Amino acid sequence: MVQVVNVKNTGLRGVTVADTKISFIDGEKGVLIYRGYRIEELAEHSTFMEVAYLLLHGSLPGRKEIEEFEKQVREARGLPEYMCESFRKWPKDAKPMDVLQASVPLLAMSDPDLFNEGRDANVRMALRLIARLPAVAAAWQRIRNGLEPLPPDRALSHAANFLWQLHGKKPDEEAARYLDICLILHADHTFNASTFACREVVSTRAHMYAGVAAGIGALSGSLHGGANAEVMKMLLELEAEKDVPGWVSARLEKGERIMGMGHAVYKTMDPRAKYLKQMAKRLGEKTGKKWQDLSSQVEKAGLEEFRRRGKPEIQPNVDFYSAPVYHMMGIPRDLMTPIFAISRVSGWCSHIIEEKFAEAQEKPALYRPQAEYVGNYCGLMGCEYEPMQQRGQQASEIFG
């Protein structure tokens, strides 16, 4: 017997819906762990490929395992030719997140494992998605600018190859490493909106690609992954602003949000933001650009203003400093959220596999919440249908 719990309009905050072994957040202390490992340790010492392996398989790879995994990802990087043919016909002003989302079912169409319900088949599909989403983002950036997509370079690491396919220039080691760290930091985050969307979709036994397409859609929103592009918009607007605290205060006064600040789980600074803040500082020193200074001014003004308003828990989240970091790396504003997606796909796929193959006692059920009906209701058995000829000119004459 299911006990009815009313949590309406809470966005399910504080509601536990499943078990997971993939990641853990301590929102009070500002801690994020992937499969038992703190993200700071992973960002310092590992690579995105290692982290993707860790998330998918549950343990860190040995040397042979990571070599094999990386080899498979490098070999899977190419896009089927029909995809680029199709992209060339798409409107050039299509948003990269829409292109990324639309490309997922296109990729599904030629995946030989699509209807293989085995765990290994799902891991192979995950690997192909991790390999190919960066290629989609890079191909779209080139095609919309009238350029030909570039073939992947198997000699390059995951992050370096993406930058090569995007810019047509081999990146220096430091730039590739910075991007790799960004990918590590964005790889997973428990039951956030997009991961929940993925898990909800595959709880119906839909395939992995259907789940990932839903995840990309959910990530695109400005309250979730889309916030990084909004942060950059805000920083660009503020470039010539002399009174940053005044701007922040006026914005809050109007009831608008400071993008990149606040979080549904963290009540202190997001640990990923701490790391990205340092990276923004190093990149600022290297490139001579002052975006980190401007971000720090907004952060300081925001913290003061939120404290004054009795909301000290509203602090920078991952998107606050990833935006200036990507900007200083030469990433266009509307490609910032796709970069989030090309990292998070590793977490989404791991959650999809967990959702599909959890052990019997932890097996989640088909998600099926309920809503309270507050619409029209005429009588005990509902409204009596009136054929068109008996209705007035407008239905509103009947329903008001």
CA dist., res. 131 & res. 388, Å (int) = 55
Q: Active site residue: 186, 207, 224, 263, which one?
A: 263
Q: Are strands 31-34 and 37-38 parallel, antiparallel or unpaired?
A: antiparallel
List, as one string, the DSSP characters of 87-139. HHTS-TT--HHHHHHHHHHHHHTT-TTTT--SHHHHHHHHHHHHHHHHHHHHH
Q: How far is the CB of 314 from ligand ACO (least distance, A)?
A: 5
Contact in structure between 38 and 32 (CB atoms under 8 Å): yes
What would you measure as the largest C-alpha separation in the chain, in angstroms?
A: 76
CA dist., res. 155 & res. 164, Å (int) = 11
Q: Which of 225, 271, 324, 347 binds ligand ACO (CB under 6 A)?
A: 225
Q: How far is the CB of 197 from ligand ACO (least distance, A)?
A: 12
Phi and psi angles of residue 300, each rounded to the nearest 5 degrees, phi first: -60, -50
| Region from 65-73, 85-93, 256-264, 391-399 binding ligand ACO, contact rule CB under 6 A | 256-264
**Closer CB to ligand ACO, residue 24 or residue 90?**
24
341 binds ligand ACO (CB under 6 A): no
Axis crossing angle, helix 81-88 with helix 119-144, rounded to the nearest 10: 40
CA dist., res. 225 & res. 31, Å (int) = 19
By CB under 6 A, the residues from 182 to 221 that bind ligand ACO are 192
Q: Which of 199, 224, 277, 356 binds ligand ACO (CB under 6 A)?
A: 224
Q: 188 catalytic, yes or no?
A: no
Q: 263 catalytic, yes or no?
A: yes
257 binds ligand ACO (CB under 6 A): yes
**Closer CB to ligand ACO, residue 57 or residue 95?**
95
**Closer CB to ligand ACO, residue 73 or residue 265?**
265
Question: How many residues in the shown chain lie near ligand ACO by CB under 6 A?
Answer: 19
Q: Which of 130, 318, 335, 336 binds ligand ACO (CB under 6 A)?
A: 318
- Identify any residues that bridge with 26 across adjacent strands, giving them in sequence order: 31
Q: Which of 185, 218, 227, 339 binds ligand ACO (CB under 6 A)?
A: 227
Nearest to 203 by CA among 345, 58, 103, 353: 353
By CB under 6 A, the residues from 350 to 389 that bind ligand ACO are none
Q: Calculate Rg over the CA atoms of the chain.
A: 23
Q: Which of 317, 337, 343, 350 binds ligand ACO (CB under 6 A)?
A: 317
CA dist., res. 382 & res. 54, Å (int) = 53
**Closer CB to ligand ACO, residue 96 or residue 260?**
260
Q: How far is the CB of 358 from ligand ACO (least distance, A)?
A: 25
- Residue 258-287 contact track with ligand ACO, rule CB under 6 A, x = bound: xxxxxxx-----------------------
158 binds ligand ACO (CB under 6 A): no
Q: How far is the CB of 190 from ligand ACO (least distance, A)?
A: 12
**Closer CB to ligand ACO, residue 124 or residue 263?**
263
Nearest to 152 by CA among 132, 172, 171: 132
Q: Active site residue: 158, 319, 327, 351, which one?
A: 319
Q: How far is the CB of 299 from ligand ACO (least distance, A)?
A: 12
Contact in structure between 315 and 266 (CB atoms under 8 Å): yes
- Could you give the strand order of the β-sheet that contains 31-34, starting from the edge strand earlier in sequence? 23-26, 31-34, 37-38
Contact in structure between 67 and 123 (CB atoms under 8 Å): no
**Closer CB to ligand ACO, residue 61 or residue 215?**
215
Q: How far is the CB of 135 from ligand ACO (least distance, A)?
A: 23
Side-chain-side CA neighbours of residue 326 (13 Å): 26
Report which secondary-structure segment, H or E, holds 293. helix 291-308
What are the residue numbers of the active site? 263, 319
User: Using CB under 6 A as the criterion, which residues of the chain lie in contact with ligand ACO when the complex forms?
Assistant: 192, 223-225, 227, 252, 257-264, 311, 314, 317-319
